[in-house]
Homo-oligomer: A and B are copies of this chain.
């Protein structure tokens, strides 16, 4: 019996969340090494040349990049398919995933959450309010305006749930960590799709671990997550030096 697939990465990361939702939906057994986001030592660089999370280890295969990992999981475990069957829809789903990774990644992970969550709580630095304002008033409205033209009024984007819905919802889940919610009057399709997707059992299961990870000081996270039955690795593969902060916004 081989070791279960391992994911190195934080429960807080939207890129990690996409992959964990894939694993949950596909029923693949896995373990997580829950390293904090935005940190990572030299050993981590060896595992992740672009210094990104998640990293996946499946037997001999070490793999980086959430989009590449999700497509690998689809190829290897095609049951509960999470890519549309139609070739053009499949391409559009991958494009919406890329758009979310870049546009929502920069606005939500790189600006909003980094400024309001990581800097004050993990690094003890001051929030740059101008960057927060840019994300809230320029970047996110532009992204939501575009997405509103791409999303359906009901159901999922391509009928069945796909990588596109999962990606978009994963980023807005992170936005919720710093109390950003989509204005449902201005962007009803975006608000509806994110709410429907986050209500799925896979997202709800992960939310328990995410909420605890957010509110637990980094050095205590493994013990606390273990106590609530998060599927942790025993070894720490990409461990960063422990830091004192908690990431939650109170």
A interface with B by C-beta (< 8 Å): 49-50, 58, 60-61, 63-65, 67-69, 71-72, 75-76, 87-88, 90-92, 94-95, 98-99, 102-103, 146
Contacts and interface: CB of A to CB of B under 8 A. Distances in A.
A111 B49 CA distance: 19
Stoichiometry, copies per complex: 2
Contact of A71 (B50, B65, B94, B103): B94
Nearest to A58: B88
A91 B74 CA distance: 11
Given A49-B103, A50-B102, A98-B68, A63 B76 contact: no
Nearest to A95: B68
Contacts of A49: 99, 103, 146
Contacts of A98: 64-65, 67-68
B94 A68 contact: yes
B50 A103 contact: yes
A71 to B, nearest CB: 6
8 tightest Cβ-Cβ pairs between the two chains A and B: A72-B91, A68-B94, A75-B87, A65-B98, A61-B88, A68-B95, A49-B146, A76-B87
A102 B102 CA distance: 12
A98 to B, nearest CB: 5
